[in-house]
Amino acid sequence: MNPSITQKKRIISLDIIRRIALFGILFINVGAFQVLIEGGPMPDYSGINGMIDTLIKVFIEKKFFSTFSFLFGVGFYIFASRAESRGDKPRLRFFRRLMALLLLGSIHIFIFWGSILAVYAIIGLFLIRFYHAKISTIGKWLGVVFILFRT
């Protein structure tokens, strides 16, 4: 817990959702940790195993990652709005925080391939521009991103 935030200012429901999402991501990565640590063979994803793997990805893995991504955006807004209410420069402070995350994520990639920390930092750099954007501007950008990256 961040000692600079008092217990009254914390949003407990967001902390609970964040913990559930982190536990889910840990749960998803257990198989990868086992292969890395024990050096065992890769699992067989043919037949029923492939169908179960697909169901797990759709109904579990994607939910935890999307929830965690949503919480990243909410955390950005809360961090920036609190910094702004203190008279700080929220964009500069968040930029420095993202640079630290990028550094840690870049180091973490060498420890665990597939780390998403550096990706969050890079995407967060684009997020800074939208801190005080109008809803219509955000909607237009979302439309463009949706058209470009739909699958």
> In terms of domains, do 61 and 120 share one?
no
> In terms of domains, do 14 and 68 share one?
yes
pTM: 0.67
**In a structure prediction context, what are the per-residue pLDDT tens digits for the chain, which is 151 residues long?**
445 666 667 788 888 888 888 888 777 777 666 666 666 666 677 888 888 888 887 877 778 878 888 888 888 888 888 888 988 888 899 999 999 999 999 998 887 766 788 888 998 898 888 888 899 998 999 899 889 987 5
Q: Which residues contact 93 (CB under 8 A, 6 or more apart)?
A: 79, 80, 83
- Domain limits at 75? 1-86
> In terms of domains, do 106 and 76 share one?
no
- What is the pLDDT, as a whole number, of residue 99? 95
Nearest of 99, 80, 98 to residue 88 by alpha carbon: 80
> In terms of domains, do 8 and 72 share one?
yes
- What is the pLDDT, as a whole number, of residue 143? 92
Q: Which residues contact 45 (CB under 8 A, 6 or more apart)?
A: 53
Single out the residue in 63, 86, 109 at which a domain terminates.
Answer: 86
> In terms of domains, do 65 and 103 share one?
no
Domain count of the fold of the chain? 2
